[in-house]
Structure formats: structure tokens, C-alpha cells
């Protein structure tokens, strides 16, 4: 979309998902006006068995390149989420394997959540929501028009999460739209679940306009822990109207 104020994710709001087709209509490059006619929209409910099972790719594991390296980047309040963008590195972070069609380079990560524990993730697993969901976005190296997104469910636990340890220090300082802070000594591997060989892969779309169907989703079945305190830091983030973000999750598309 052209500005933060043109996009809302609460279904009942004026600029919510139901009205994205109207908002995007006639805008070059925006495909969400066709979303109702497009067959591979995200997010979806993921089933591990049954006739609606989405292809599971755990037989060929993912390969992570430089995910153990310490990286530096900016954490930004985008008005819709908080997003980490790495500074350019001589050794880019990449993924391949997992039946991906090419090598993909890490671009950014961001979070999805709501103010309700029972509804914060975009995807669901066997009909169950998690309180939040983390997306690690990668771009194709051979074909940059394609994206691969690693989706990680966040599950409430009493213990502090190493996955959000660095972010938790930064979040109180970027509560308002356009605020950003440099994040040092960041290791992307710490955000992944212990078992990275159990995931569901499917072909889908971006979950915000333009809703392009150019995304290979890899959704890990094992969640990572998030404490109540860490989750509340996400829930304190404000949008471009300086209002608390109630939810930044697109409704299920299946």
C-alpha cells in the first residue's frame, strides 16, 4: 500500500482486509483486488493428516547458511508491525534444501500478534492459533521475484525466550510509528525452533497487499517459547495513528 494509514488488519475496520480489493483497485502492481479469485492466498489452516494435508517436506531438511553469524541491523516500527532489516553483509544469510527451488537470501523478519492469547498467529495448526507468529522473509537469488518465508509459532511459557531476548531490549524504544533502533550482535539461529526438520511447506501469498502469490511458506510445527512479559512488549507497539495495534493478522483464507 502507499501509506501506513491505508492498511488495517482488523476485519471490521474501514481499511481492513475485506476492503483491500477496493483500496487496491486500479493501482499498478497491486493484485489484492483479485484476491477473491486467486486460489493460493495466505494464511491458511495447516493440517498434518487427512485429505486437505498440505505437502510436508520434512524428508529433505533445510540448510541454513551463516545463521550462526552475528548480524547488525535496524529494528523499525512500520505502523503495522516491528521489522528487523539487516545491514548489508559480506556473508549473506541464506537457506536452501527443503525442496526449495533455489537458494534464498534473508531480507527481514517481522511479527504478527493480537491482544488475545487465543488469536495472534496468522496460520493455524490443526485449527489451533498461537499467541504470535514470527516471519523470516527470504528472496530468491536466481529468481528475485520469488520469496520463501519461514513461519515460527510463538507459544506462551513462563521462561524468557532466547528467540526474543535481543528484541525485548529494543521494543520499548520503538513503540511509535517510524521509530527505529540499531540492533547489535544478533544471531538469527536463535529464533528457530530446536527441531527445524518438522515443517509444512505450501505455495501461498503475501498476507498483506498486494497479496502476490509468489511465496513458498515453510511453517515449523514446533513453536518457540515467549514469556508473558515479552509478549506484552509486542502488544504495546502503536500504529501510525498512535493507537495500540489490536491485531495485525490477516484472516484465514481457507
Selected residue with higher pLDDT from 60 and 111: 111
Average pLDDT in the chain: 86
**Banded pLDDT at 222 (limits 50, 70, 90):** very high
Give 113's pLDDT tier (boundaries 50, 70, 90). very high
Grid coordinates belonging to 176: 511509535
What's the number of CA atoms in the CB half-sphere (13 Å) around residue 48?
12
When pLDDT is cut at 50, 70 and 90, the band that residue 146 belongs to is very high
pLDDT beyond 90 at 21: no
pTM score: 0.90
- Would the pLDDT of 29 be above 60? no
Q: Tell me, what's the pLDDT at 185?
A: 82
What are 195-204's pLDDT values in tens digits?
A: 999 899 999 9
Q: Is cis: bond before 253, omega within 30 of 0?
A: no
**Parallel/antiparallel/unpaired status of strands 45-46 and 124-125:** parallel
What residues have CB less than 8 Å from 123, skipping those under 6 apart? 42, 43, 44, 45, 46, 133, 151, 153, 217, 219
Least confident of 8-22, 112-126, 236-250: 8-22
Instruction: Specify the range with the lowest mean pLDDT, choosing from 14-23, 64-73, 99-108.
Output: 14-23
Per-residue model confidence as pLDDT tens digits over 150-176: 999 999 998 877 889 999 999 999 999
- CA–CA separation, 74 and 86 (whole Å): 6
- Nearest CA to 247 out of 1, 83, 8 is that of 8
- Tell whether the model's pLDDT for residue 103 goes beyond 50: yes
DSSP string, the chain: --SGGG----TTSTTSGGGHHHHHTT-TT--GGGGGG-S--S--EE-SSSTTPPPB-TTS-EEEESTTSEEEEEEEE-SSSEEEEEPP-SS--EEEETT-SS-EEEEEEEEEEBSBTTB--SSEETTB--SEEEEEEEEESS-TT-EEEEEEEEEE-SSPPSTTHHHHHHGGG--STT-EEEEEEEEGGGGS-S-TT-EEEEEE--SSTT--S-EEEEEESS-EEE-HHHHHHHHT-B-TTS-B--B--PPP--
Domain range summary for the chain, segments of one domain joined by +: 4-235
Instruction: Decide which of 56 and 152 is more confident.
Output: 152
Spot the catalytic one: 80, 123, 135, 186: 80
What CATH code would you report for 4-235?
3.10.200.10
pLDDT value at position 71?
A: 92
pLDDT at 114 over 60: yes
In the chain, what percentage of residues exceed pLDDT 70? Answer: 80
Q: What pLDDT, on the 0 to 100 scale, is given for residue 32?
A: 55
Residue 96 annotated as catalytic: no
For the chain, give the number of residues. 254
The residue-averaged pLDDT of 37-62 equals 74
Confidence category of residue 1, pLDDT binned at 50, 70, 90: very low
Lowest-confidence region among 76-80, 85-89, 203-207, 224-228: 85-89
> What pLDDT is stored for residue 88 in this prediction?
77
Q: Given this model, what pLDDT does residue 11 score?
A: 59
Amino acid at each position: 500500500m502507499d501509506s501506513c494509514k491505508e492498511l488495517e488488519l482488523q476485519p471490521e475496520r474501514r481499511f481492513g482486509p475485506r476492503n483491500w480489493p477496493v483500496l487496491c483497485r486500479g493501482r499498478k502492481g497491486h493484485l489484492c483486488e483479485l484476491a477473491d479469485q486467486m486460489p493460493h492466498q495466505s494464511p491458511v489452516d495447516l493440517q498434518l493428516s487427512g485429505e486437505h494435508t498440505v505437502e510436508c517436506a520434512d524428508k529433505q531438511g533445510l540448510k541454513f547458511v551463516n545463521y550462526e553469524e552475528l548480524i547488525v541491523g535496524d529494528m523499525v516500527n512500520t505502523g503495522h508491525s516491528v521489522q528487523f532489516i539487516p545491514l548489508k553483509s559480506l556473508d549473506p544469510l541464506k537457506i536452501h534444501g527443503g525442496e526449495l527451488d533455489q537458494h534464498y537470501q534473508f531480507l527481514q523478519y517481522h511479527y504478527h500478534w493480537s491482544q488475545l492469547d487465543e488469536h495472534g498467529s496468522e496460520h493455524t495448526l490443526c485449527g489451533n492459533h498461537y499467541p504470535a507468529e514470527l516471519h523470516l522473509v527470504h528472496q530468491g537469488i536466481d529468481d528475485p521475484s520469488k520469496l520463501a518465508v519461514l513461519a515460527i509459532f510463538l507459544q506462551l511459557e513462563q521462561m524468557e525466550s532466547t528467540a526474543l531476548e535481543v528484541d525485548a531490549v529494543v521494543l520499548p524504544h520503538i513503540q511509535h510509528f517510524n521509530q527505529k533502533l540499531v540492533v547489535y550482535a544478533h544471531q538469527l539461529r536463535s529464533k528457530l525452533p530446536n527441531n527445524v526438520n518438522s515443517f509444512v511447506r505450501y505455495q501461498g501469498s503475501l498476507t498483506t497487499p498486494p497479496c502476490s502469490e509468489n511465496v513458498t511458506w515453510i511453517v515449523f510445527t514446533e513453536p518457540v517459547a515467549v514469556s508473558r512479559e515479552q509478549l506484552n512488549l509486542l502488544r504495546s507497539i502503536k500504529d501510525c495513528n498512535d493507537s495500540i495495534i489490536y491485531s495485525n493478522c490477516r484472516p484465514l483464507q481457507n
